[in-house]
Structure 1
Amino acid sequence: MIRWLTIILLFAITADFLSAQTNTKYPGYERTNTGLYYRFYSKSTETYNRPVIGDYVVLSLLNKFNDSVIYDSWKVNPEGGLAQYYIEEARFRGALEEGILMMSVGDSASFIISADSVLKYFPSEDTTQIYPKGSILTFYIKLVQIRSKAEVKAEYDSLYAEYIKSLEVQYKQRKSEEPLLIAGYITKNNIKAKPSPSGTYYIENKKGKGAFPVKGDKVTVSYVAKFLDGTIFDSSLQSGYFIFTIGNNEAIKGFEESILKSKIGTKATVVIPSSAAYGVEGFQDEQTKEFIILPYTPLIYEFEVIKIN
C-alpha cells in the first residue's frame, strides 16, 4: 500500500512536467470558476464518499514551491506517510479546501494555489521571505479516509483519558518519592536547619542588617533557582532583580516566608517542598505548555535581599 501511494505521487509530479495538453496556463490542469487549478490522476465516479466541511480527512500530502518541498507527509510520518487535515470553510476563493471537497476516497490529484492568498490569510514570518509576489504552491494529495468530527473527538478523548491515567500513576510515584529526595539532599549536604511548618529549610549564609520585611513591603532580591540535582531553571541574573510585594501572591509560599526571615544584605539558601512551591500542578511554559517544573518537585533558591521598601 505504501509503495503504491509513493508511485502515485511520483507519477503525479512527473506528469506535471511531461504534459503538454492544457486549456489553462498550467499544462494538464483545469480551472474552477474560483481560480483553483486542479488535475486528477485517479478519480472515482462515486460521489457519495466525498468529505464535507467539518470532516477530517486522512491523506498523503506533498506540498511544493517550485522544486522545493515545503511539506512531505512521508517524511513527517515515515511509518504510514499520512496526515490528518480538518476541513473548514475556505478563507479565500480557490483555497485547498475546495479541491479536497472535489475528491472521493481513493482519488489522487494535485492543486495549484496562489501563495499570495495563503500568506494573506495565514501570515507567517517564516514564509513571507520565501514566496515572491505572484508565486504558486502545488499540493499533491491522495485521499485515503474520511473521518467525522465525532469519531476524531472520541479517539482524542480516549487517548487523553489514557494520558491522564498515566500522569496520575507518574504523579503518585513522584509524590511518594519527594520526601525521600528532600531527606537525602539534607543529609548529603549536612544541613542542620530545621524545617518550618511548611516544610521549608532556611539556611542563612550571610546575616543582613536593619529590620525584617513585613506584609505589604516591596522587596528587591537577586536569586538563582535550582532543582535538587543542581540544574538551574531560573535566575534573576537573566532578567534583572526580582521585585515583589509581600502578601500579594507574587512569589511561591516557601520563598516568601523565607524572605520574611531576611534583612537587607541577607544571603540565604532555601530548600522548598513542592507543597510550598508549585505543588501538584507544576509550572508550564505558557506557549508550548511543556513542563518547566514537574508536579511534586522540590526546589532550591539561593537569594540575596537587595532592598526593602
Structure 2
Amino acid sequence: MKRSQILGALAFATLAFAACNNADYQTSASGVKYKIIDGGSKDSSKVGDVLKMHVIQKIEGAKDTVLTDTYGKLPAFVKIQDAAMPNAYGPDEFFKKLKKGDSLVTVLYVDSLIKKGLAQEAQLPPFMKKGDKILLTFKVLEVFKNDSLAQADYQKEMEKDAPRQKKEQEEMMKKMMKDQEDARKADEAALEKSGEKAKQVKAVQDFLTAKKWAATQTSVGTFVKIDQQGTGTQVADGKFVTVKYNGKKVSNDSTFDANQFTVQLGVQPFIKGFEDGLRQFKQGGKGTIVIPGYLAYGKEGNGGVFKPYEPLYFDVEILEVSDKEPAAPQMPTPQAHGPNDGHNH
C-alpha cells in the first residue's frame, strides 16, 4: 500500500472511531448506529445506482480485529437496493443516502445479530463473541448511474489490482505449504521416535522384494524404480511438469486413480513422496514411485479415502517438463484423488 493510501485509511479509521465514541451519530429503526459525513457533492443517488467505495470492517471487543480493508486494493462495488427486508440489520439501508465523496460509519452489535436470528452464538467465528461491536466505514469514490459503466470501471480496477492479488495468493500458498511441511516433519519425527517409521519402510521394502523390483531409496525416503530415465529437461522445483500416472495401493495392487495433470513442482501443494519421486526423472522418463505411508497421505489418509499411513505406488510417465505453463493444462477430475491433492500431512 502506498504511503498516501496508508495515511488515507488511517485518517478515515480515526474518523470512524471518533464517530463511534461521540453522541452525534443516529440510530435507525432497525437499531443500527450510523453517521454520514457529507463530502460536499450536489449529486444524489437512487435505487439502481452502483456505489464504488473503500471499506474498512473491524471487530471491536476484548481484542480488536480488522476483517476488511480495501485501501490499496480492489474497491467494493455495491448496487443500491430498494427497501430493506423487515428483519434487516446492516449498512445497506443507508446506501441510497450517499453521494460521491460521502463517508458512512455504521456500528452493528453482535448481540443484536443474535437476537434478530441473523447469527447463532454457537456458530460465531473465533474472532467474534457476544458483546462485540462490528464497525463498518465506507468512503464513496464514485456513483455509477448504470451497470455497464460500473462493470467497465470494475474491470479496470481488477486489472490494476491483479499483480497485488497474485502476490498475495502466492504468499498464502507458500505459507500453507510451509505449515503443511512443518506438520509433516513433526509427524515423521514422532513416528521415527516410536519405531513406526521403520515399520512403514520395511513394509515397502517387503513389497519391492515380493515384486522383485530394483528400486533406489532417495534421501527423503521415497523408493523409485526407473525404467527409463528420460532424455529431456530434468524435473526440478519451479518447472511445470506434466505427468501421466496410475496410482495403486501397495496392500492389494488395486488401482485407485489413473489420470494426467500438470503441476508446478515445489509451488503447488503435493504429496511429499510423489513430488520427491518425480525429481528423479527427466522429460520422457518412465518408472514407478513407491511411497511409505508417512510420505503419502499420512495419518489423515486424504480425508479417510485411505487408511492412516497407507503405502501407495504410482506408475508414471513424464510427458513434459517446461518453464512455462502449458496452454491447456490437464488437471485431475474433481472426484479423483490424485497425487496433487492438497492434503499432504
Q: Which bracket does the TM-score occupy, shorter chain normalised?
A: 0.3 to 0.5
Which of these two proteins has the greater Rg computed from alpha carbons?
A: 1
Whose helix fraction is larger, Structure 1's or Structure 2's? 2
